[in-house]
Amino acid sequence: MTTTAPTRTGAEIVQNLPWRWGVQGKIFIIGGLGFMFDAWDVILNAFLFPLLKADWGLSAAQLGWLGTTNLIGMAIGAILLGGIADIIGRKKVFTYSLLIFAALSVLSAGSPNYEVFIVLRFLAGVGLGGCIPVDYAIVGEFTPSKVRGRALTAMDAWWPIGATICGLVAAFLAAQGVSNWRLLLLFMVLPALLVVWVRRGIPESPMYLLRRGREAEAREIIDNLVRRTGAEAHEYVMGEPEPAAPLSIKSILNRVGHLWKFDWKVTFISWALFSSVLFVYYGALIWLPSILRDTKYSEYVAFMVTTGVTAVGIIGVLVSAYLVDWFGRKKVIFGSAVLTTLSIILFAIFIESPGPAKFWILAFGIVIEFCIPAIYCYCSELYPTELRASGFGWASSASRIVSALVPVAFGSLLFPFFGYVGTFAIAGGLLVIVTTIMLFLTPETKGRLIH
């Protein structure tokens, strides 16, 4: 009598488990909380600028460099920590990147001058920059393939939640007559530390362990997932492990070559999608309070409208989470890019009319959140496990570098020469061009198993 050898791999077992909120859903929530602080910190710059200007008498150029330096720190963090996560595993980076950010944010709140503050904000950005690529990698690698698109798209809901909380805190302090940028920073730290504590209980990614040949650890986690989800147990094989790269700056930086060698079209589109969509989003959101103040809105109203733009984005994310599994990632990305461009241009056209202007900027807040989470989901699925965090990290860092130019590019170059309408037409047009190229260069990932 012969027995049939198991043909399923551990990776297939994980990706075919039923979804359970108490199992994969817990990882989705805890992973998303890190993304929430990314939003909180980025949007915080919009509210810090007027307070820092009043406190230290900073120029527009100094404020612009402050925002730019913070985003460059995030770009470097995404590259370094994303690469480290592919080499040593997701769990350590998943836990400690947020701790680094929280500690440096506390130090930033005590800065005695602009020079110290800008250095500390840069370093805090490095810590926070590792959250997005690692969070998306670990959530995607625990999530069943049939709901992975929905889960990874819904992850982006944490971004408007974080941005909205930031805006509400700023508006609350403004309503109380408190103009203290140090308090704005400290309000962010305590919840960040609580999330660091919670993250300690998340296991290492079984997909990563399988790739590294750590069979005993991988089997323990996979078998536990099977029991906790109530799935039927099956025999499975581990698959061939990948050779581990040494942990060094050279090995981390060399991974960018591996990304282009893996598939230049995938890497080009990932970088271009991230950069173009966040150029539009950050350009609109970071400058929105200033644009509204120049149009004679009060500080409180300007803050609340900006907060409203981020809050309605939650609706967009939730809708996008269903659209990507109905229509596919690429159709949602392209269609929402077109709607995003139209809405931001119409906002600029009607800027002098409060009613229509508010309508179109809120519409922008919704439709761009159809686009951003779909891009995050799509790009995280284009790479295999051994390159996923690095691929996402480099794409994220490329967008951070482009976004770092937003404070200077919009304020000093685009607005003065092209006005609001021309500037947003250029930024939105770039997004539409990139998404059009995507339709022809890269594959659809809906329903595809990741490896």
- Give the pLDDT confidence of 220-230 residue by residue, as tens digits: 999 999 999 99
Mean pLDDT, to the nearest integer, of 395-418? Answer: 78
Structure tokens at 278: 């966040």
Among the ranges given (22-31, 250-259, 313-322, 437-446), the one the predictor scored with the smallest mean pLDDT:
250-259
What is the per-residue pLDDT for 175?
78
Condensed to tens digits (0 to 9), the pLDDT of residues 3-18 reads 455 678 888 899 899 9
Mean pLDDT of the chain: 85
Mean pLDDT, to the nearest integer, of 363-383? Answer: 90
Condensed to tens digits (0 to 9), the pLDDT of residues 151-185 reads 877 887 888 888 889 888 888 887 777 778 999 99
Among the ranges given (310-314, 323-327, 403-407, 419-423), the one the predictor scored with the smallest mean pLDDT:
403-407
pLDDT at 1 over 50: no
CATH 3.40.50.12780, applies to 10-441: no
pLDDT at 451 over 70: no
Structure tokens at 114: 């602009």
* Cβ–Cβ < 8 Å for 403, 282: yes
What is the per-residue pLDDT for 2?
44
DSSP annotation string for 201-252: TPPPPHHHHHHTT-HHHHHHHHHHHHHHHTPPP---B--PPPPPPP-SHHHH
How many other CB atoms are found less than 10 A from the CB of residue 353? Answer: 12
- CA distances 130 to 2, 384, 446, Å, are 50, 19, 26
CA 84, CA 79: separation in Å to the nearest integer?
9
Condensed to tens digits (0 to 9), the pLDDT of residues 329-362 reads 999 999 999 999 999 999 999 988 888 989 999 9
Q: Which residue has the tokens 């025999």?
A: 235
What is the per-residue pLDDT for 5?
54
Biggest distance spanned by C-alpha atoms of the chain: 85
* Cβ–Cβ < 8 Å for 252, 393: no
Mean pLDDT, to the nearest integer, of 271-283? Answer: 91
What is the per-residue pLDDT for 250?
67
**Which residues, listed in sequence order, are joined to residue 437 by a DSSP beta bridge?**
none
**pTM confidence score:** 0.74
What is the per-residue pLDDT for 365?
94
What is the per-residue pLDDT for 4?
55
Angle at 301 between CA 300 and CA 305, to 5 degrees: 120
Condensed to tens digits (0 to 9), the pLDDT of residues 67-110 reads 788 888 888 888 788 778 888 888 888 888 888 999 999 999 99
Type of residue at 193: L
CA 359, CA 343: separation in Å to the nearest integer?
9
Condensed to tens digits (0 to 9), the pLDDT of residues 234-264 reads 888 887 776 655 556 666 667 778 888 889 9
DSSP annotation string for 298-309: -HHHHHHHHHHH
Residue bearing the bigger pLDDT, 266 or 409: 266
* Cβ–Cβ < 8 Å for 92, 62: no
* DSSP 8-state secondary structure symbol assigned to residue 58: -
CA 208, CA 139: separation in Å to the nearest integer?
12
Mean pLDDT, to the nearest integer, of 257-282? Answer: 91
CA 138, CA 112: separation in Å to the nearest integer?
38
